[in-house]
Structure 1
């Protein structure tokens, strides 16, 4: 379909597979654009009932490709376009998650309707560690889904959550053996296509609720994200990441 994204279509489902396994499916601007285009196509076609998002290799998604994100001319424009597209998408989304799901690899899952995870799935939202703020509405959706305490551990400390904990917390629909994960997710996505479409769509809208608060939060996060990206903290965090060293953050004196 596009560089870094493998597209498959069957049983009324468009499958978008992140296909950059050597980089643990870290997302580039081009990949974000392709994912957004795939969602738009699925939304416009009456014969498509659902979208399935999965990843090739041993990881689901390692988040943004940091070097690409920092050097890209639009500095995240494609990423925010995808975030808005998945947040407002009008059909069910199924996800199959194995291995690492970092940053947007986790936050996109809050917008998925059914999330199936392999036992080795590991969910991480390390935004604060990078000197930035959460995105994709996760500052609103994580506490609502996981409870405040678990969300705070993930968003303030950057602590990872394993598959079992994610299942208990409500982020994951079910844990599936790794060798059955994709087939299981495909079967569930295809099953959505057998449901009466109008009733399915109406029920989904009721479950999701009014999107106004979510859209407002995504906009607020986006504004703060862009501001913090320009901060000294973010510069140090990203530089340390690329140099594979621990970051050193400067604290101002209390009376400064």
Structure 2
């Protein structure tokens, strides 16, 4: 894992530890998730999250519906509830209690044993191969730098960031796997696009919505695509990329990922 990837993971887990999701477009807010979780049958079986990154598992991840999750770092501290800035690295979940598959109430304590991420862990996938830097540059109007994130083994939220190095001009291409959702990919898409300035987009994935968020800083457009196998693909661009352009980008990526 590169130093930049470690920093990105650290920023994410610090945001999560402070109780806030890392900023991104077309994401469901905590109130929407809480409402959805409240409709589920409880107690319910715990998913198996061993081997996953802590930052991808709590809050908006697979354990997002459980309200009493704690982590145990090697120093005995709890990165989940510690003040922002206490821990500057992400962690991998090595064990959990209760065990995967056991039923637990929504407010029942779920304890995660944690180990630091190993920066020498080999990558598992190559997300920047889904759309090459040249292909992304053609859309963004010039050469781009491509940086993979979450490409290590065990990651369930995998992305590639493309930047022209001009302020916030850039794109992010992201694939979320089945183990990343608190409920399901379909529920995540519905939450992410509900009440937004969204438009249905045909011809890509099972179903897709393009969301324009021009009041955010920077203004952005996001195409969220439901894929087969309980997966979700998302591409976000800042500053004026059209839904048609995002659709073309997504078609290239999904053609290589698999619909």
TM-score w.r.t. length of structure 2: 0.23
Q: Which has the higher helix share?
A: 1
Higher strand content, 1 or 2: 2
